[in-house]
Amino acid sequence: MKILVAVKRVVDYNVNIRVKADGSAVETANVKMAMNPFDEVAVEKAIRLKEAGLAEEIIAVSVGPEKSQETLRAALAMGADRGVHVRTDIETEPLAVAKILKAIVEKEGPQLVLLGKQAIDDDCNQTAQMLSALLGWSQGTFASKLEITDGTAEVVREVDAGLEKISIKMPAIVSVDLRLNEPRYASLPNIMKAKKKLIDQYTPEDLGVDVTPRVKTLKVEEPPKRSAGVIVDSVAALVDKLRNEAKVIS
């Protein structure tokens, strides 16, 4: 089977996010960017499935500006076989990305699409679900375990109440949670090899998808500053503060 993995270029999770002076968006100029951490977990899972003999080819897909190719190269250096770059300078929303992924699925014919459970820049947690609806495929979201046997995917989902195990029919869309695995680092030889791997290029227009935003951002603000914490010298002092100052216990 072929596996498609969606990888998004986002502000690196170590970066201290700054809001633009005009409050229109988060500052991304001269800011370190990286692959969305959940997507690294998805790439790792695809590679492990290939290593286990369950997949023949892994195709990484990224939608975004020219520099998204760096993110694709990172996925290729980890072990994806080839890349697909859908180039747009418009900040894409989940529905547009889902429509683009659907078009790529129709071209490539994968049995499994792996995505992150959410992109850490927009925190939407929508793309996988929308893609599943558009394709009419099964979905397993927030996967912390994924096993594939005979046309079925067993997914352990991280839900509020604990862990939920479901069995879904393939082809399927699975969005992954951080506990699924620990992504590998790309070795230097693999980084070099990745430079030669193929990246197909499209525009949203080539795929017949209109990426014009439907949501208008009115204002972006930094969260209110939190006051510094205090170190208490005993459990009794902690309980006292929780009861009488924070009033979170009675």
List of residues contacting ligand AMP (CB under 6 A): 6-8, 36, 38-39, 61-64, 92, 94, 97, 115-116, 118-119, 122, 124-128
Burial of residue 166 (CB within 10 Å: 0-12, 13-18, 19+) is middle
Minimum CB separation of residue 21 from ligand AMP in Å reads 26
Q: Which is nearer to ligand AMP, 126 or 144 (CB)?
A: 126
User: What is the distance between the alpha carbons of residues 3 and 169, in angstroms, rounded to a whole number?
Assistant: 15
Q: What are phi and psi of 84, to 5 degrees?
A: -130, 120
* Residue from 198, 175, 187, 190 nearest 69 by CA: 198
Minimum CB separation of residue 15 from ligand AMP in Å reads 17
Q: Which is nearer to ligand AMP, 127 or 138 (CB)?
A: 127
Name the residue with the smallest CB distance to ligand AMP: 116
Minimum CB separation of residue 119 from ligand AMP in Å reads 4
Contact 133, 113 (CB under 8 A): no
Q: Which is nearer to ligand AMP, 39 or 81 (CB)?
A: 39
User: What is the distance between the alpha carbons of residues 73 and 83, in angstroms, rounded to a whole number?
Assistant: 8
Minimum CB separation of residue 230 from ligand AMP in Å reads 36
